[in-house]
Structure 1
Amino acid sequence: MTNPQLIIQEHYAASGRGDLDGMVAAFAPDIEWTEMAGFPYAGTYRGVEEIREQVFGRLGGEWDGYEAVPEELVSVDDHVVVFGTYSGVFTATGKHMRARFVHHWTVRGGQVVRFEQFTDTHLVRAAMLVDDGE
């Protein structure tokens, strides 16, 4: 069996390369992916294709230079917790965003079965808001 921490490190490395296939390579077919309430893409998505379209597709289509950079990984058994920073420019407003995150990953049998995101949703949404001229 592959080390859960290595599997998650490989996900972030693929993300850094812009390699979507590599990002989802270790995802279980029935993976459950939860974006935090208040986040622009909030909700729970199930299955690789739904995550590709509703999360990664939207991030790639609506943001320039969007990154999720891991800075520290903590691994216990099947669980990996990642502390890092999001950044990018929302294309519709041209506003830059930088927000800290915590990701909780669950890996079983060499496959990612669950993901849950925690972040400052206000900072992300602020970059998406059009100034009203004030």
Structure 2
Amino acid sequence: MALFLRAALFCCALLLAAVPAHAEGFLDAVEDMPLMEGLAETGDGGIVFDKPAGRIVRSVAEGDVAPPAVRAFYIETLPQLGWTRAAEYELIGELLLFRREGEQLEIQIVPVSQSHTEVRFSIEPQ
């Protein structure tokens, strides 16, 4: 019984550790793309096209969060999930680019008002 309890506690700890800090959950369209606390997906959870060359994903989330907080969250969190930032290609201030395993992720952070932000996620083959 004690061994079972230890194993169950270990499994729970692993599951809790898998969610990045301050993540609300994950995007419906991308199972390992964290959704920052305060953001909620819009529409039907995004669009996914699987092609022989790779997948194409589009998803949008919005919420009452500040653009700098969104930027900091994804810069801190995505490398933990294997994404490498490609900052040299970020040509505008509210755009983040990451690469992983032949895919490119673009996160566009759009301030809608002083307290409301829209975040657009786009994944395409490199």
TM-score where L is the length of structure 2? 0.33
Q: From the CA coordinates, give the structure whose radius of gyration is larger.
A: 2
Instruction: Judging by fraction of residues, say which structure has more helix.
Output: 1
Instruction: Judging by fraction of residues, say which structure has more strand.
Output: 1
TM-score where L is the length of structure 1? 0.32
- Larger RCO (alpha carbons 8 Å, 6+ apart): 1
